[in-house]
Amino acid sequence: MKASIITIGDELLIGQTVDTNSAWLGSELSILGFDIYRKITIHDRREDILEALEEVKGKADVVLITGGLGPTSDDITKQTLCEFLNTKLVPDHEVLAMIETILTRHNFPMNENNRRQAEVPESCQVLKNSVGTAPGMWFEKDKTIFISMPGVPYEMKYIMTDQAIPRLKKRFTSQVVIHRNIMTYGVPEARLAEILTGFEASLPEMIRLAYLPSYGIIKLRLTATGSDNTLLTNILNTQIRKLYEIIPDLIFGENEELLEVVIGKLLKEKGRTVCSAESCTGGNIAHMLTSVPGSSLYYKGSVIAYNNNVKQELLNVPAEIIEKSGAVSEEAVSKMAEGARKLLKTDFSVATSGIAGPDGGTESKPVGTIWIAIASERGVVTEKHIFGSDRKVNITRFSVAALNLLRKQIISH
């Protein structure tokens, strides 16, 4: 089963946009068991698109195409697909109705560009896009399936997940490829690899292990390939049980489960609530917690206390502590956690105070330093970390570290 990816867009070639779409698509195709033999990026240019389509036609079983589906004149994918398929553009009435609904809601009139967005090549099947106005398209030529999607990442992901992947699964069933992910946090990749040396060496031949690190979280991906689903599942389960025996404290979830999702489940199970008091993370912990659907059941609110007066007035951090130990200190962050828990009346609170950078570091408290505190009915637990120098990376690493400490505290209750 061979697949190819074609991404269309000048911005990808001149490096104005990093092509994250094709990495995501590659990962999804790979999970389905496809060998992605080639990715091609080309201009929004008729001849280039036609050339790329001709090249992969008959060679790949599936070709995923992104980009060039917008309503403006630089978007020429659809017309070019018509040429390739020897067909013409026709309006799709369902898509047109959806665009009309969206426009009406925003009080925009329908114009020629909008109408053009609802047009699709006559011989294609429309893949519904519920999060945007450009529909996805599925068509076949010379035994190759082509799937064309917009380049806007969330629209592309919606069409893939909701429409394309289910169809591809139905169509291609030959080889069984099962991926299982074990989510870990707590040690760096090199150290984890060292701990798992023996485990890796003893893995059965049909199983591959990959380490996928991201902001301190390391996803262990086990991939089993073969023909018997039940057999592979059993073997995978055995290996995963082994992992739980070797690194019980490092595993926090399975299969892409985020820390905030795990925390949400734990809080719902235990009927507990949480809030946050954030300085250096500036609302990112609140944002992560509330990105989970249904989080209003256990998340009540936060105080983002960037300014020291806010720490004192709203969270009751004594001025003496800030004067003596500074806002980035165990004492201050403990008071922040206690103050927020009391103010927002929750069972748990998570507080952060640190130096995200690029400025503000000192010899004793370099950029990347963070104090984390979790308050509960049992008192306050704290942790200190020192990460790197990049502000955005620090904010994410701070938040992940804080959520992991929160998770461990909730479990221990």
Q: Indicate the residue among 342 and 408 with the shorter CB distance to its own copies.
A: 342
C-alpha 315/C-alpha 335 separation (Å) is 7
Closer by beta carbon to its own copies, 127 or else 285: 285
- Compute the chain's Rg from CA coordinates: 26
Rank residues 84 and 299 by Cβ distance to its own copies and give the closer one: 299
> Judged by CB, which is closer to its own copies: 139, or 284?
284
- Min CB(124)–its own copies separation in Å: 21
The token duo for 81 is 């697909």
Q: In sequence order, what are the beta bridge partners of 410?
A: none
Smallest gap from Cβ 231 to its own copies, in A, equals: 21
Distance (Å, rounded) from C-alpha 47 to C-alpha 234?
A: 50
Q: How far is the CB of 245 from its own copies (least distance, A)?
A: 20
Q: Are strands 136-141 and 144-149 parallel, antiparallel or unpaired?
A: antiparallel
Nearer of residues 22 and 334 to its own copies, judged by Cβ: 22
Distance in Å from the first CA to the final CA of the chain: 49
Measured distance CA(335)–CA(349) in Å, rounded:
11
Contact 324, 296 (CB under 8 A): no
The neighbour count for residue 276, using CB atoms within 10 Å, is: 32
Q: Angle 349-352-358 (CA atoms, 0-180°, nearest 5)?
A: 160
Q: Which is nearer to its own copies, 251 or 304 (CB)?
A: 304
Smallest gap from Cβ 182 to its own copies, in A, equals: 13
Q: How far is the CB of 402 from its own copies (least distance, A)?
A: 13
- For residue 170, the minimal CB distance to its own copies (Å) is 22
The tokens describing 302, both together, are 């936060």
